[in-house]
Structure 1
Amino acid sequence: MTSKRQLALGWPTLIDVSLKRRFLYQSIQPNGLYCVNSDKYRCIYLTGCRALDSSSMLAGNTLRAKCPGSRQLTVQMMQNPQILAALQERLDGLNGSPSGYMESLPKVVKRRVNALKNLQVKCAHIEAKFYEEVHELERKYAALYQPLFDKRSDIVKAAYEPTDEECEWKADEEEELTVSKQDEMKEKAKLEEEKKDEEKEDPKGIPEFWLTVFKNVDLLSDMLQEHDEPILKHLQDIKVKFSDPGQPMSFTLEFHFEANDFFTNTMLTKTYKMRSEPDENDPFSFDGPEIMCCTGCTIDWTKGKNVTLKTIKKKQKHKGRGTVRTVTKTVPNDSFFNFFTPPEVPENGELDEDSEAVLAADFEIGHFIRERIVPRAVLYFTGEAIEDDDDDEGEEEADEENDPDYDPKVSSPLHTHTHTHTHTQPVPL
């Protein structure tokens, strides 16, 4: 019998699925898509050409048909997005289906397998404790990092001017060694010109530091609108604060702003609540702490400056009189600052698909800011971290392609979990 793993490897074989001891075989061949029900040994050629009796065929063999015009029909079918969507849905349903092996085991063996499952649940609970201790360790080291991050913030907002010694960088020294005498004279003249220009401009700190970071990272730049940029020029720092010892696991992103004309807040916050314990209904899915929900904050916008809303004008015609009037309406507007008003999860935990997708993306962004942006901000400012991320992704893709269990649908290194009736995957922290 053909293994489902072969499909992941890209082999042109069949898929086997056990459904009440009846096996359904499917195969995409150069000349069409076939299904065989092994109870009836009847092959259906799905392009609609004709049905073929296949009683002489052995289950598991590749099925083919000599059908006039079948290749053209197959091409037409594969160009139809509705057919492709239906096919993908069917294949998704087949992937991961039980093989039927467990059902065939004797009762006494099944009993022992259940004992192993109970041991596995206990392992999951130990793993949960491990991650809780990791969280405590992370909190401890966050306190050690913070003075360095505070100094970074002071340099960015011009509260502190670094010394010559602090500004020395090895790469600059290596570059200087490669410069010839003639080039040295040119470089000196160029530096003097730049110094004069800088004295005229007199820039303070590192202008637009965080805005540049956001624009350099695709995950964040996709959220930015043109009207967000003037506001984010006033962003001076982003901090991560962990929950106090003994409190439920959580972290808060603090966005610190200088005084500006857009809102009166000096700090905007986003809190992510986490859970590090196996789900009673699905303990084997536990893979570390999960972000369960998040809460934003109220932005006190200056009148007329709220970029999360826009005013539109619509013309309405009176049914009776036939007169036309213009109606002004306020509607939501795309903006980075919608990040601070995430969808609320109802008490029953059920969300519509759009809200589910928004929350899943939100969790990924919050996790990314915490894990990558805040600790390595200068490298995202210069673009060096982006190159490293691209290299890492290239290596991961190569590893995944060689992994027989690789699922191309789950390609992101960050998975999300929302505490709703319809579950997505957890964010491993």
Structure 2
Amino acid sequence: MADPEGKPEELVGEPTSEENPTSEEPSSQGDDSAQPAILASQLMRDPQMLAALQDKLGSMVGHNSGYIQSLPKSVKRRIKALKKIQFEATTIEAEFYREVHRLECEYATKYAPLFEKRSLVVTGTHEPNDEEADWPSDDEKDEDLAKDKKELASGDNKDEVEKKASIEDKKEEAEDKDDENTKGIPGFWLTIFKNVDMLSEMIQPNDEAILNHLQDIKVEFTEKEPMGFTLQFLFEPNEYFENKKLTKEYVMRSEPEEGDPFSFEGPEIIKCVGCKIDWKKGKNVTVKTVKKKQKHKASGTTRTIQKTVQSDSFFNFFNPPTAPEDEEMDEDTEALLAADFEIGHFIRERIVPRAVLYFTGEAMENEDDYEDGEEEEGGEEGEYDEDADPDFSPGKEKPAECKQQ
């Protein structure tokens, strides 16, 4: 007898797939081949895991996923043609950066008179006239505003206002007398170094008195191959060393490497050379003397010896580690050189051209404007949040996503 659906009578009432281990639903018991199906089923029920897997697979395309190797020979041949085009573009890019360096060398001669005048003002050799010093000051604006408020607050009490004005005039006269004894801008470069984190970390207490004698920093560009630049630190006569000028030369390369041409991203510093500092007796802050006890193995007697070791100092900047030419650098040397290159580039690119702004701190304020801010509520950057959109209403099309130009 068959059931209404035409099934044989003996099949009616048979266990369901949940009860029947031989049903089509994969089972984890006794059948290893069923495991992938179970995992796939679980994955499909977990959207977050699925999305993470999709991102991972997407990032593998073109790398070690085997996708490129699986392409037909004709496609691989076309990719090789694209790489050759890319190499030609990289070669032009290297030429562009060399031309930029040539322009830097040309314009350095135009900046030079301005930086020379800056040095004369800093050292007190030149006193700016009224026209040269005609620049708005935030302090002056605040003072004028404070005076206006005082006058408004005093009302008709003119005697009190005049009395206060007289006191302020006397104070200004005293300040003027102090100004007569102040030469140039004291501690100009030391203040700049202490304002910049990467430089202030290098400065030790013993360095500060020496850096107070620093009068100017200049950049001398090298146009001929190998291209590069030299930092010149000019000092007034002092009791620490004989040098009037300390130098640090940086050698740069602006061409793709033979073994890895597509890693080229512009000129890079590949070498730096310091200079010898002729320290006066007992004034070398880059070394220190330490006492060490030694014990004789046979007799057991001890003796104390003095040993000279390197000391932390800004002036170690002029004695950088030497990069080996024929052998691979160790990690410590590589890290030290990378930090040195970054400092040299920053002094050349930022400190020297904008010295007064680093002295006043305005340059750091501008840099702080571009620090990473807090995440806004309502989703990650690039996502559209309809709840945060006052113009959103159901049924209307969402605004197109903004794309960076």
Where does residue 58 of structure 1 map in the other structure?
40
Q: Secondary structure at the match of 1:326?
A: strand
Aligned residues: 323
Counterpart CA distance in 1 for 2:299 and 2:144 is: 84
- Counterpart of 2:79 (choices 113, 126, 144) is 113
How far 1:387 sits from its partner (Å)? 0.8
Counterpart CA distance in 2 for 1:334 and 1:62 is: 59
Counterpart CA distance in 2 for 1:396 and 1:118 is: 43
Pairing 1:381–2:359 present: yes
Where does residue 273 of structure 1 map in the other structure?
251
Amino acid in structure 2 at the alignment position of 1:375:
P
Q: Secondary structure at the match of 1:334?
A: coil
| Pair 1:189–1:288, CA change in 2 (3 A) | farther
Task: State the TM-score, normalizing by the size of structure 1.
Answer: 0.69
Mapping 1:10-409, distance limit 5 Å:
56-58=38-40, 61=43, 97-172=63-138, 174-175=141-142, 177-181=144-148, 183=150, 186=164, 189-190=167-168, 192-197=170-175, 199-200=177-178, 202-244=181-223, 246-394=224-372, 402=381
Q: Secondary structure at the match of 2:64?
A: coil
Which range moves more in the overlay, 167-176 or 155-164?
167-176
Larger strand share, 1 or 2 = 1
Amino acid in structure 2 at the alignment position of 1:362:
D
Question: Which runs of 5 or more structure 2 residues have no equivalent in the other structure?
Answer: 1-31, 47-59, 152-160, 384-405
| Pair 1:116–1:182, CA change in 2 (3 A) | closer
How far 1:315 sits from its partner (Å)? 1.4
Which range moves more in the overlay, 316-325 or 210-219?
316-325
Conservation of the 8 A alpha-carbon contact between 2:62 and 2:68: no
| Pair 1:119–1:183, CA change in 2 (3 A) | same
Larger radius of gyration: 2
| Pair 1:349–1:380, CA change in 2 (3 A) | farther
Amino acid in structure 1 at the alignment position of 2:340:
D
Counterpart CA distance in 2 for 1:41 and 1:143 is: 77
| Pair 1:119–1:395, CA change in 2 (3 A) | farther
How far 1:60 sits from its partner (Å)? 9.9
| Pair 1:105–1:59, CA change in 2 (3 A) | farther
Amino acid in structure 1 at the alignment position of 2:145:
T
| Pair 1:60–1:136, CA change in 2 (3 A) | farther
Conservation of the 8 A alpha-carbon contact between 1:234 and 1:258: yes
Conservation of the 8 A alpha-carbon contact between 1:297 and 1:340: yes
Counterpart CA distance in 1 for 2:166 and 2:355 is: 31
Amino acid in structure 1 at the alignment position of 2:364:
I
Question: Which runs of 5 or more structure 1 residues have no equivalent in the other structure?
Answer: 1-39, 43-52, 65-93, 405-429
Q: Secondary structure at the match of 1:58?
A: helix
| Pair 1:181–1:129, CA change in 2 (3 A) | closer
Give CA-to-partner distance per residue, 1:232-269, whole Å, 9 cap, x none: 0000000000014x442110000000000110000000
Where does residue 15 of structure 1 map in the other structure?
none
Give CA-to-partner distance per residue, 1:350-400, whole Å, 9 cap, x none: 2111111000000000000000000001010000000111112337999xx
Counterpart CA distance in 2 for 1:100 and 1:187 is: 83
Amino acid in structure 1 at the alignment position of 2:194:
K
Conservation of the 8 A alpha-carbon contact between 2:207 and 2:314: yes
Conservation of the 8 A alpha-carbon contact between 1:41 and 1:57: no
How far 1:188 sits from its partner (Å)? 6.9
Conservation of the 8 A alpha-carbon contact between 2:61 and 2:67: no
How far 1:347 sits from its partner (Å)? 2.2
How far 1:98 sits from its partner (Å)? 2.9
Counterpart CA distance in 2 for 1:96 and 1:107 is: 16
How far 1:280 sits from its partner (Å)? 1.2
Give CA-to-partner distance per residue, 1:286-331, whole Å, 9 cap, x none: 1111111110000001111111100000112222222221110000
Question: How many percent identity over aligned positions?
Answer: 58
Q: Secondary structure at the match of 1:302?
A: coil
Query: Cα RMSD (Å) of the superposition?
Result: 3.0
